[in-house]
Structure 1
């Protein structure tokens, strides 16, 4: 039991490191552009930022900014700050997880009527789980559903910024290929574990458990 648990822990840590590494590969390159007017994308929290910088990697004239600090965690009870609103005032598009994660979203839409909101969970390929009567919004913890989110972000981003649509689609395809390989690697390691009982400290992990039959 202990061996299986240690292996599972190593796999989950490896997954996080790979996702962060994929994200880091896009850092810095999308910040520099030759255009006078950059297309400015703001993301609601770190998982959306990781997706966004991979989709926009190397695209000239596009800037990605994460609204909240990386250690913020989930946004269920997050309160917008004055700095957040200033950040959003300068944004052309705001990428959110959706599905109720950003409890402040109605306030943003009300105050920033011209802001294009890109909902990463707006996908027919996501089957939402529920916590009681409420939808569980932590879909990015399923690799399969995160792929669906990447595709949803890309589709809506291409509509918001058609000038860079071809580059977004190419980057998204490359990123989905990496995520698909990651999913296959994790299945290879986890599918044959002798024990699949886990204890979690957060309601986010049912999607991970469902993906790998934990």
Structure 2
């Protein structure tokens, strides 16, 4: 009797295991599908793309059009230099078909994650097409060979647009003509933007063309459009402004009679406020010329939440304050 019972248990066990394994497999599959849908809503039949910063996200949408479903990791006000990927970000990266990032150590704390992802899917640097001779020097102390803020010279961002176009065509050749046409239309807008910036900055009296910001993000902008740029912190916000930096900048602003300095949407204004207070103690009134978008764009759904809108906002704010 006991033998029969034991025999019955043993012969039934594989069936129970099979059912359990089937349920487990089904659960894993359904969970993976749910995670993909939550990361990429309305992505059926589209290429799933994850981009790091908002500026890249915007260009991918422009070039990819109806053929892509794009999510960006870093939203308005987020500093990419200090950004750490969350578990949700890992899921967005893991479920993407293609990942786009800056490529010049902008997303410094994500390098290892991106390197791991590159072993199993395309992980593309939008800076890949830019001749290194055109890149500004980085900060050796912070481990950056080049200045990563390439989007502030619109001509660089045209190269980034072409890089994104080429990756999409390689991945999805069936829609190559659409990607080419979308890119061509966007490149025309960028060319117009470049000319617009050149004319607007040229309208500022030469002696007043001094742009002072919280960190040194606008170097490419200064080189491209003829304005002196000074940042209180270095290229990366991971570096800190010391008392000597504040004092030196204050003295320059007082001696040069600069009227305005600018805060940034993604960088605390504490150090800039210290400069303003220091100048006041020296008898020189400095005003906040406005808030600029440097490492992050504006809120989704706003004009400043697009690359072109962000750049226009910055230029108009600078010209209004300095002209």
Q: TM-score range by the shorter chain?
A: 0.7 to 0.9
- Relative to structure 1, the CA distance from residue 113 to residue 128 in structure 2 (aligned partners, 3 Å threshold; closer, same or farther) is same
Q: Distance in 2 between matches of 1:117 and 1:184?
A: 32
- Relative to structure 1, the CA distance from residue 71 to residue 149 in structure 2 (aligned partners, 3 Å threshold; closer, same or farther) is same
Q: Distance in 1 between matches of 2:87 and 2:139?
A: 33
Larger Rg: 2
Measured after TM superposition, the shift of residue 193 of structure 1 is: 2.2
Q: Distance in 2 between matches of 1:78 and 1:199?
A: 24
Contact 2:50 2:73 in 1 (8 A): yes
Measured after TM superposition, the shift of residue 69 of structure 1 is: 2.4
The residue number in structure 2 matching 1:150 is 161
The residue number in structure 1 matching 2:107 is 102
Q: Distance in 2 between matches of 1:105 and 1:158?
A: 25
The residue number in structure 2 matching 1:55 is 63
The residue number in structure 1 matching 2:219 is 206
Matched positions, count: 179
TM-score, structure 2 as length reference? 0.52
Q: Distance in 2 between matches of 1:32 and 1:83?
A: 18
TM-score, structure 1 as length reference? 0.76
Contact 1:125 1:148 in 2 (8 A): no
Which of the residues 43, 46, 51 maps onto 1:38? 46
Listed as ranges, the matches of 1:1-214 within 5 Å are: 36-57=44-65, 59-60=66-67, 62-73=68-79, 75-103=80-108, 104-111=110-117, 113-125=119-131, 127-133=134-140, 134=144, 135-194=146-205, 195-214=208-227
Deviations 1:21-63 (A, max 9, x none): xxxxxxxxxx757xx5321011111111111111122x24x21
Contact 1:41 1:91 in 2 (8 A): yes
Q: Distance in 1 between matches of 2:126 and 2:118?
A: 19
Larger RCO (alpha carbons 8 Å, 6+ apart): 1
Q: Distance in 1 between matches of 2:189 and 2:88?
A: 34
- Relative to structure 1, the CA distance from residue 111 to residue 167 in structure 2 (aligned partners, 3 Å threshold; closer, same or farther) is closer
Measured after TM superposition, the shift of residue 124 of structure 1 is: 3.6
My pick for the range that moved more, 139-148 or 125-134, is 125-134
Contact 2:150 2:220 in 1 (8 A): yes
Q: Distance in 2 between matches of 1:105 and 1:131?
A: 17
Structure 1 residue runs of 4+, over 4 Å off?
none
List alignment gaps of at least 5 residues for structure 2: 1-40, 228-323
Q: Distance in 2 between matches of 1:192 and 1:108?
A: 43
**What secondary structure does 2:69 align onto?**
strand
Measured after TM superposition, the shift of residue 173 of structure 1 is: 0.7
**What secondary structure does 1:200 align onto?**
strand
Q: Distance in 2 between matches of 1:111 and 1:178?
A: 33
Q: Going by fraction, where is helix more abundant, 1 or 2?
A: 2
Measured after TM superposition, the shift of residue 146 of structure 1 is: 0.8
- Relative to structure 1, the CA distance from residue 176 to residue 78 in structure 2 (aligned partners, 3 Å threshold; closer, same or farther) is same
